[in-house]
Structure 1
Amino acid sequence: MTVFILVAGVFTGAQVWQETAARLAATGSEVHAVPLTGVDPDRPAASADVDLETHIADVIAVIDTVGAAAGREIVLVGHDYGIHPVLAAADRRPQRISRIVCLDCGLPHPGVPALAAVPDQGLRAQLADQVQRGEDKGALAPPARDGWERWGSTDGVCGAALDRLAALAVPQPLGTLLQPLRLTGAVSSVPTTGVLCTRNGASIDLVQRLVDFGDPAMAALTDPQVTFFELPTGHWPMLSCPGALADVLLRAAAGEGRRLRPAGADGPPAHLRPFPLDVPEPPRDRKGHVDLYIPDAEGPRPAVVFVHGGPVPAGARPTPRDWPTLVGHARLAAAEGMVGATLDHRLHDVADYTRAAADVAAAVDLVRADPRVDADRVALWFFSGGGLLTADWLTEPPAWLRCLAASYPVLAPLPGWGLTGSRFHPVRAVAHAGRLPIVLLRAGRETPEIAATVEAFVVAARSSGAHLELVDVPHGHHGFETLDAPEEVRPALRHAMRSVVTHLSD
């Protein structure tokens, strides 16, 4: 018999699992939704007395109650914050656990508190300040009914279910978020399944791309014991699609799911495949975190600065400025008589946008200060997740910025990124762009979540009178330069580059 032990996320207790638990039980499985101390009504406690260790003990108590009878396979399921007590409990009872399921959450690292996974970055900073002031007791109030989006996408959660979520929510003891996760390493032997909710911004393909970047820390996800599933819903699948979630949990318990391939197993990963245009190789000048590709032309020349996307793991090798797409674009710019510039910035996590924006600004200053560059004629070209970095330049375009281009960009924070109230929101910023020329390359087969941000940007740009030019790749995917047939991509790349060059030459 399979025994499911379910552990809820922040602000929620055992009741949130009601429908999913009933469906699992109907298949003959044994199901235990763990009542968490200080959260569930039948486990009252003062918030100051509750921390992560308290909830680890709650999970271990259920594991021990289930018993070790032959044929009883225990599957631990942790949603959101719940993965922290789940991992720690499995680390202390590894022989008893047949599988861990991470439900729409990352795999936390030892020594890191759950606070690091709080999606609302403003709240994360506020709590960190409280800790520094010694204010680490008490509880965090749950959001109001219309505030749950700051904690994850509510896609698929009907009005009645959202009412129920808000009604059942309780304050989260701060100690559960602030106490670091302590692991011995024994949990690494336990098979693991990740269930990703795509409407919350995650997908298996995205995780595969992170593996393909070559960061050694991601290599463990390619272990044959690690599997993945997707659910086309938001962050609370136990409310939006309990039947589909129950089915996925049963399949995970049976060892099913998609497995990731090791980086380079099937040849070069997508981001390292050749650029689709054959462009000359001009001289390259490396300056700190910036590379300049110098054209064969007299006098200071206009420049195009290419800003990579992300997040890209810190251990990725090669770094983005050496990726064929960035190098190819810079060489193409040089072939047009422009200085092409690539750079590395530190967008390693969705919490890094402020740091990445500072890196980009410093790189632009370095490029403009170079005597081979006409400092009054510069264009910026952004890619993918780097699209959010356009917001600063759209809000207050400097006189020297003659054009802003973006390829398959993310143009509004995705659900679960915790950036909704931040300055990194191009859809809002474009209203201030004035007559700044904007060249936007759209992928016709973009992922729905990113495509929605692009469409919102186009609507906002047109309503505000922004100078927007659309260049479509009708059959292109996200990252089309190295993913799609060259004949599909070349016309759009040439068209977009010529448009940027024209604006720089005006």
Structure 2
Amino acid sequence: MTVFVLVSGPFTGGWIWEETAERLRQSGAQVHPLTLTGLGERRHLARPDTDLETHIEDVVQLIDHLDGPELVLVGHDYAIHPVLGAADRRPERINRIVHLDAGLPQDGDAALALVPDQEVRERLMRPDGPAEHNWRIPAPRPDEWQRWGSTDGLSTEALARLDSYAAPQPSGTLIQPLRLNGALAALPTTGVFCTAGGVTIAMVETLVRSGPPQFRALADPRVTFFELHTGHWPMLSSPEELATVLLRAAADEGHRIAASDDEQPFYEKPFVLDVADWPRERIGSLDLHLPDLPDADGPQPAIVFVHGGPVTADLRPTPRDWPIYSGHARYAVSRGVVGVTVDHGLHALTDYAQAAEDISAAVELVRADPRVDADRIALWFFSAGGLLTTDWLAAPPPWLRCVAANYPVLAPLPGWSAIDARFRPVGAVRTAGELPIVLSRAGLEHAAIAATVEEFLSAAKAADARVEIIDVPAGHHGFDVLDHTEESRHAVAAAYDAVLGHLQG
């Protein structure tokens, strides 16, 4: 008999699973909705020291008192943190972990990074932390639930239930980092996406094939996926459909992402153009690829290539050595300009400010090099690095001749609430003025990313910004390594024609 342990997200408790639990029991399963300490009917137990460890122990204690041989732990939203913490301590008791519209936290991650309410996140991130008298986060007011997730599908009655039963969330549960020892690696997992929030299986497939390398783990055959076409609280909006999905997940059903073991990871795939090796110099976190121009009259223009991410800090090789970026840099050299690749600190969604500082420092280092014309610099951004265009668009320095972007993310994607509100190219383009922008757009781009590009282009048009679009109709996200076609090669060359026209003109 399958035994489900259902753990809900912030402010809620076991009450929220009532309809889903009943449907699961009708199928013959055992069901144990769990209310975490300080929430729901246990709100009176909240104390200033109630933290993530408290909630992990809640789940562990329940596991230890259940006899079922096949425990399926379901973590909704924040609750995936205590669920993973408990499963890491009792892996032999767990048959499957279900991430219900939840993230993929790793060792050392705090739930705070994924809190969608920016006001709450900023308050808790203050150096002195929450005040002693203010250690509980108030439950959302009736008109605020959408700040914590999509309310699509929730009836007026369901929203009233949220309002009536919600309890303040102890802040320590969101601040304390999750600690894992690696025992989870062998456990089957299922991701259930509530698509009204914007995350879909198709988006994950895009990330697996052309996104940060850490997402390739999602192609493991032990990982399955489902979609629910509703908002963030499916146990209230679609309880019967949720119960069906949980039963299928327990039976090892669901969509699997295919990726052969011998398939090259994105970061190892070759650049679409055949380019010769050129001398390069490694200076700190950047590489200078230098043209051999014996007849050159003085310093040369430079293009600084800014990789996407997030990319885990321990990945080797680092992005500046990936074929895509070194290929672009070598091609830039073949066209007569200095190509610069940079390793920056975008290791997590919370790292954009650090990455921006790293890029700024790298640009100054490049401009100070006597072989580089400090007044003729272009910046070229890729994928999620597109959010780093913000500062340069908002206040373009006179020496910045052009900003280019390949298949960029130009607004935070659904679920990317952890990103600092500062990084919004859609708003920044309104003050870009005469700065030329060269945007290479993939025709087969994922819908959520394509939507950010369209939003950006609408804002650019309203501001009369100078945008040149290079369309790649049959191109995928990452076409300059994924699609070895004449169309891709032509698009890359056309983008360089445009950028070099601004650099050398």
Output aligned runs, 1:315-464, within 5 Å.
Answer: 315-419=314-418, 422-464=421-463
Specify the alignment match of 1:308 in structure 2. Answer: 307
Matching residue of 2:204: 204
Residue identity in the other structure for 2:449: I
Q: Using the alignment, how far apart are the partners of 1:333 and 1:471 within structure 2?
A: 17
Q: Which residue of 2 aligns with 1:296?
A: 292
1:423-462 deviation digits (Å, cap 9, x = unpaired): 1000011001011111111111111111111110000000
The correspondence for 2:261, drawn from 241, 257, 265, is 265
Aligned equivalents of 2:334 and 2:77: distance in 1? 49
Match of 1:18 in 2: 18
Structure 2: how far apart are the matches of 1:147 and 1:40?
Answer: 19
Q: Report the alpha carbon displacement of residue 253 of structure 1 after superposing the two structures with TM.
A: 0.9
Counterpart amino acid of residue 351 in structure 1: T
**Amino acid paired to 1:127:** L
Change (3 A) 1:445 1:406: same
Match of 2:9 in 1: 9
Does the CA contact (< 8 Å) of 2:353 and 2:420 recur in 1?
Answer: no
- 2:253 maps to 256
- Kindly provide the CA deviation profile for residues 100-151 of structure 1, in whole angstroms up to 9, marking residues without a partner as x: 2222334444565443543556644532436558738630123345544554
| Cα 1:243/1:434, change in 2 over 3 Å | farther
Task: Give the residue type in structure 1 aligned to 2:482.
Answer: L
For 1:275, the equivalent position in structure 2 comes to: 271
Q: Measure how far apart 1:227 and its partner are.
A: 4.1
Structure 2 alignment gaps of length 5 or more: none
One-letter amino acid matched to 1:354: A
Specify the alignment match of 1:74 in structure 2.
71
- Against the structure 1 CA distance between its residues 148 and 302, is the aligned structure 2 distance closer, same or farther, given a 3 Å change threshold? farther
Superposed CA offset, 1:173-203 (max 9, x none): 1232344545566555544333345645474
Q: Which residue of 2 aligns with 1:193?
A: 190
Q: Which amino acid aligns with 2:244?
A: D
1:103 counterpart residue number? 100
Alpha-carbon distance in structure 2 between the residues aligned to 1:145 and 1:294: 60
Moved more, 227-236 or 94-103: 227-236
Distance in structure 2 (CA, Å) of the matches to 1:289 and 1:183: 31
Distance of aligned partners of 1:412 and 1:112 in 2 relative to their CA distance in 1, 3 Å threshold = closer
CA displacement at 1:386 relative to structure 2 = 0.3
Once structures 1 and 2 are overlaid, which stretch shifts more, 291-300 or 49-58?
49-58
The answer to whether the 8 Å contact 1:413/1:419 transfers is no
| Match of residue 45 from structure 1 | 45
Q: What corresponds to 1:475 in structure 2?
A: 474
Shift of 1:309: 0.5
Quick one: structure 1 residues 110 and 445, their matched pair in 2 at CA, closer, same or farther if it must change by over 3 Å? closer
Task: State TM-score, norm by structure 1.
Answer: 0.88
Does the 8 Å contact 1:3/1:75 carry over to 2? yes
Given the alignment, which residue of 282, 288, 302 partners 1:286? 282
Counterpart among 121, 124, 140 of residue 137 in structure 2 = 140
* Compared CA separation, residues 149 and 302, structure 1 to 2 (3 A): farther
Offset of residue 231 of structure 1: 4.7
Contact 2:212/2:309 (8 A) holds in 1: no
Q: How does 1:152-231 map to 2 (within 5 A)?
A: 152=149, 154=150, 156-158=152-154, 160=156, 161=158, 164-181=161-178, 190-197=187-194, 199-201=197-199, 203-205=203-205, 208=208, 213=213, 225-231=222-228
Cα displacement (A) at 1:294 = 1.6
Q: Is the 8 A contact 1:204 1:230 kept in 2?
A: no
Measure, in 2, the Cα distance between the counterparts of 1:353 and 1:280.
Answer: 33
Return the offset for 1:86. 2.0
Give the match for residue 127 of structure 1.
Answer: 124
> Structure 1 118/136 Cα, relative in aligned 2: closer, same or farther at 3 Å?
farther
Q: Give the root-mean-square deviation of aligned CA atoms.
A: 3.1
Q: How many residues align?
A: 498
Identity %: 57
State the one-letter code of the partner of 1:25. R
Question: Contact 1:7–1:78 at 8 Å: present in 2 too?
Answer: yes
The letter of the residue matching 1:333 is A
Q: 1:147 to 1:305 in 2, by over 3 A?
A: farther
Which one-letter code corresponds to 1:126 in the other structure? R
Say if 1:151 and 1:416, in contact at 8 Å, map to a contact too.
Answer: no
My pick for the range that moved more, 494-503 or 76-85, is: 76-85
| Cα deviation, residue 247, structure 1 | 2.9
Contact 1:149 1:415 in 2 (8 A): no
CA contact (8 A) 2:43 2:167 kept: no
Q: Which residue of 2 aligns with 1:487?
A: 486
Deviates more, 1:76-85 or 1:308-317: 76-85
Q: Any idea what the Cα deviations from partners look like across 1:33-81, whole Å, max 9, x if unmatched?
A: 212232103553244363334433443454455x426xx5221111122
Task: Please list every run of 5 or more consecutive structure 1 residues that lacks an aligned counterpart in the other structure.
Answer: none
User: Is the contact made by 2:210 and 2:478 (CA closer than 8 Å) also made in structure 1?
Assistant: no
The answer to whether the 8 A contact 1:52-1:179 is kept is: yes
Residue pair 1:47, 1:174 contacting (<8 A) in 2 also:
no
**Quick one: which amino acid aligns to residue 426 of structure 1?**
P
SS at match of 2:370: coil
Within 1, Cα distance between the matches of 2:492 and 2:185?
Answer: 45
